[in-house]
Amino acid sequence: MKPTNIFRILTPLILALFILSLFSGVVAAQTTAREQYEKTKEQYQVQKEKFDNTRKQFEDAKKLFEDANKKFKNVRDNKSDNRSKEELIEKAREYILRAINHTEAQLQVMKNRLDNPENKGILASDAIKIIDAHTAQLEQLKGNVSQATTIEEIRAAHKELAGIVAKINLETRYFMGMVLNHRIENFINRADNVSAKVDDAIAKLKANGTDTTELESDAANFKDKLNEAKDIQAQTVALFATHSGFAADGTVTNEKDARDFLKKANELQRDTIKKLKEAGKQLIEFGKEFRKLARGKVKVNEKDELEINGEATTTFTAKKGE
Amino acid sequence: MKWIYILILLVVAASASGCVDKNQAETTGQTPAQTSVSPGEPGEAAVTPGAVVTPVIATPAAVSPAPDDLFGTESNLSAIDTTFNDMNMEISLLDSI
């Protein structure tokens, strides 16, 4: 082969490889996103399993302590028994240590949720720092409990733990409430987009002479339920803006106010979810009817447009009775 | 002849850089609506629209979505339910010991 021929072959080849290399970034980005997703999923699974395991261990230790306590009370009613007292201290120690492990596992589940790329930036404060501070506090308490020699020391540790746990329980509900709000809002945004695409699809079918009465009714019901959900969600967002009982960073400032606030927020979020589920049912009804009328392979593309036989409803030409 | 040679090299290069058959493998069994899920946790599909392409998460609804659930609504609602349940994690200690 002559050198000129080699150049003639190599030039387009290098050009083609150069063009391909431009796409390698996209491919790499997809791989990274996928890896990140897998990692997040795996981490959540680990934390959730740990949480479930520590809950079981905690409940078991709690029961053993209660049994030992009953036994100790019975003995004390008769005569003093040092062996029962020692047993009681050990069971109480075990119960508190298990409770600490369980609390730490709960914190890790929450941390995992907040670390999820989907939830980055939804909190104004650095919740991770608050979680880490609680974890450090619990680790220190764990040391105190391990070294405690009297029932009074154990009781003091339990009291301290109860205070920390009460705050963590409230903060968990607050932070997770924010995560839930974010998720609900994403759902509503997408539902708005779907709503517009549903209208497009109806208009196209109608233009082709199809009777769309049922479809229109399903779409209207879907929108009604969605609007109801939006109204409730707006109330939830307004309520979270007040964050009564919580400081701006999400830490508890007043337990009673915090409880009242979370109770209201919980009720509102429950109602929103109920409405979204009702809207979802209407959308499924719409899907059934659309499939029936379309008489073809129906699917939804990345833009949430309905497609019949691979053609988006914005361009398709299906006719009634086809 | 040279074009066949170039074509073969292109296919090899494309395969090596992951341009060929990659998305197909990743999206097998997904409905288009479900390809827009973003990282979440097991048992749920997140609801972020337009997010990166990630696999459908193994919920019964996601694995075999109802044929009429064209928009993958059920798996998204299931994700919301899971978050709601996590929100109610609480540790209940004894009043005193």
- How much is the pLDDT for A307? 81
Domain end position, chosen among A95, A128, A147: A147
Query: Is residue A46's pLDDT more than 70?
Result: yes
Considering only CB atoms, which chain A residues are within 8 Å of B9?
A: 13, 16
- Domain residues for the domain of A279 are 182-312
pLDDT > 90? residue A1: no
Residues A303 and A230 in one domain: yes
Judge if A295 and A205 occupy the same domain. yes
Q: Does residue A201 share a domain with residue A129? A: no
For helices A3-78 and B2-16, angle between their N-to-C axes, nearest 10 degrees: 20
Please give the distance of CA B48 from its chain centroid, rounded to a whole number: 11
**Res. A204: pLDDT tops 60:** yes
- Shortest CA distance from B71: residue in chain A: A300
The strand pairing partners of A252, in sequence order, are A246
Name the residue facing A186 among B6, B48, B73 (closest C-beta). Answer: B48
Contacts of B81 (CB under 8 A, 6+ apart): A273
Number of domains comprising chain A: 2
Of A51, A180, A189, which has the smallest distance from its Cβ to B49's Cβ?
A189
Per residue in A237-265, pLDDT (tens digit) is 999 999 999 998 899 999 999 999 999 99
Name the residue among B13, B74, B83 with its Cβ closest to that of A20.
B13
What CA–CA distance (Å, rounded) separates A171 from A130?
Answer: 9
Secondary structure (DSSP) of A60-105: HHHHHHHHHHHHHHHHHHHS--HHHHHHHHHHHHHHHHHHHHHHHH
Helix, strand, or coil (residue A39): helix
pLDDT at A10: 67
Distance of residue B87 Cα from the nearest chain A Cα, in angstroms: 5
pLDDT at position A301 is 82
ipTM tops the 0.90 cut? no
Q: What percent of chain B has pLDDT over 70?
A: 34
Q: Is residue A84 part of a domain?
A: yes
Would the pTM of this model clear 0.90, i.e. be above it? no
Residues A118 and A218 in one domain: no
Both A291 and A191 in one domain: the answer is yes
Q: Are residues A265 and A201 in the same domain?
A: yes
> For the ranges A173-187, A226-240, B26-40, B65-79, which has the lowest average pLDDT?
B26-40
Q: Which of A120, A147, A174 is the last residue of a domain?
A: A147
In chain B, residues 40-59 whose CB comes closer than 8 Å to chain A:
40-42, 46-55, 57
Flag whether A320 is in a domain. no
Question: Which residue of A27, A285, A301 is in closest CB contact with B17?
Answer: A27
Query: Among partner residues B2, B41, B68, which is closest to A41 by beta-carbon distance?
Result: B41
How large is the average pLDDT for residues B74-82? 88
> Which residues, listed in sequence order, are joined to residue A311 by a DSSP beta bridge?
A308
Model pLDDT, residue B88: 81
Please give the pLDDT value at position A273: 97
Interchain pair B54, A102: CB under 8 A:
no
Which residue in chain B is spatially nearest to A198 when comparing CA positions?
B71
Nearest-CA distance from B65 to chain A in Å? Answer: 11
Does A122 fall in a domain?
A: yes
> Does A280 contact B77 at a Cβ distance shorter than 8 Å?
yes
A132 in the same domain as A208: no
Could you tell me if A85 and A137 lie in one domain?
yes
Q: Are residues A128 and A200 in the same domain?
A: no
A187 neighbourhood in chain B, CB within 8 Å: 47, 76-77, 80
Alpha helices for chain B (secondary structure H): 2-16, 22-27, 60-63, 73-87
Residue appearing with tokens 């979505």: B65
Facing residue for A299 by CB, picked from B70, B77, B87: B70
Percent of chain A with pLDDT strictly greater than 70: 83
Partners of A30 on chain B (C-beta within 8 Å) are: 22-23, 26, 52-53
Residues of B in contact with A266 (CB under 8 A): 87-88
Angle B73-87/A255-294 helices, nearest 10 degrees? Answer: 170
What's the whole-number average pLDDT of chain A?
A: 86
- The top-scoring range by mean pLDDT among A27-41, A61-75, A134-148 is A134-148
The answer for B 22-41 residues in CB contact with A (under 8 A) is 22-23, 26, 31-33, 35-36, 38-41
